[in-house]
Amino acid sequence: MLCLRMNLDIWEIIDAAATKPFGFHPFYPGPGLGGHCIPVDPFYLSWKAKEFDFRTKFIELAGEVNVAMPYHVIAATISALNKHQKAINGSKVLVLGVAYKKDIDDLRESPALTIIELLQKEGATVSYNDPYFPFVGRGRKYDLQMKCAPLDNLGKYDCVLIVTDHTDYDYKKIVNDSKLVVDSRNATRGIKSDKIVRC
């Protein structure tokens, strides 16, 4: 988020750092964390540490940042739509990918579910596409009751929001056929288009 504010390309920075021949492992930004481990398990340790009058500030701070990421994606989507003279309220938004990471069929703690709910609260008409989920019903924290939308008429959406970067997607075609693409995973890397907003 700091790089966005400074008008720096975080993906270019990570690529440059990755040229170091040793001692570097890349970590990539995204719309938030999901799964059954990282968003949950560290907080067990944090809770236990409090019994010993010990604060695990770094765990709690990381959790705060990760919980805030879907809200950052919503703000970026609202800004991108505004630049196209569209309000989020009443806009048609297609969320690409609902799994918590690419190429899996796991929804646990997926940031896409929060993003869909936040878009709906803002008044957007939300659809989703994910080749691993023909239907998203009810879970522990969500109740969406949505069917997977086809990718055959992307021009009917005011915005296509990439949340999970499945390798099955043809990103060039998606950008070509869409009015606006907000990319939270850098899935459109290498595609040049003024339709793309990376967040």
Q: CA 120, 170, 158, 87 torsion: positive or negative?
A: positive
Residue 14 pairs in a beta bridge with: none
Is 37 an active-site residue?
Answer: yes
Marked catalytic residue, from 37, 148, 159, 199: 37
Rounded to whole angstroms, the Cα distance separating 70 from 30 reads: 9
Q: CA 68, 69, 70, 75 torsion: positive or negative?
A: positive
**Cα angle, residue 63 at apex, residues 61 and 65 outer, rounded to 5°:** 70
State both tokens at 156. Answer: 């009917």
Rounded to whole angstroms, the Cα distance separating 112 from 97 reads: 7
Q: What positions carry a catalytic annotation?
A: 37
